[in-house]
Homo-oligomer: A and B are copies of this chain.
Amino acid sequence: MPSFQRHVFVCINERPADHPKGCCKQKGGADVRDRLKAELAARGLSKTIRANNAGCLDQCEHGVTVVVYPEQVWYGHVTEADIPDIVDKHLVGGEVVTRLLLPNQPHLGEQPAFPALRTGTTVR
């Protein structure tokens, strides 16, 4: 059943080493993805929240990019070390990690708040 409470896409796009834009793979996208999968698994959340590889998310100037759906919250310059915060505060708690937000996200409005994860039920 393809019903995830949250679906997190991590850019792991790879470009040639000399490409002027660089790429998320080169900047550690795969490490970020691996850490996200590990932290979700450690909390028993792998079937409720899906960590997904993504191709280019078109935000190449912002380091490793992560987008969380259904709320469409974009994070940039994400490192492995940021993942516990993203998981515990946002994916579980519903609270945006403001220090990692990409600029110019008018769809979020002011002070966005999202539902905390529904626990006690498995949605998938």
Contact = CB atoms under 8 A, between A and B. Distances in A.
Interface of A: 1-4, 7, 9, 12-13, 50, 52-59, 65, 67, 69-72, 74, 102-107, 123
A3 B54 contact: no
B69 A72 contact: yes
Q: 4 smallest A-B Cβ distances: which pairs?
A: A53-B55, A1-B104, A69-B69, A2-B74
B52 A53 contact: no
Copies of the protein in its oligomer = 2
A1 B105 contact: yes
A59 B7 CA distance: 14
Q: Per DSSP, are chain A's interface residues mostly helix, strand or loop, or mixed? A: loop
B70 A3 contact: no
Contact of A70 (B13, B53, B70, B74): B70
A50 B56 CA distance: 10
Contact of A59 (B2, B13, B105): B2
Most chain B C-beta atoms within 10 Å of own C-beta, residue among A2, A53, A56, A104 = A2
A67 to B, nearest CB: 7
A46 to B, nearest CB: 10
A106 B1 CA distance: 9
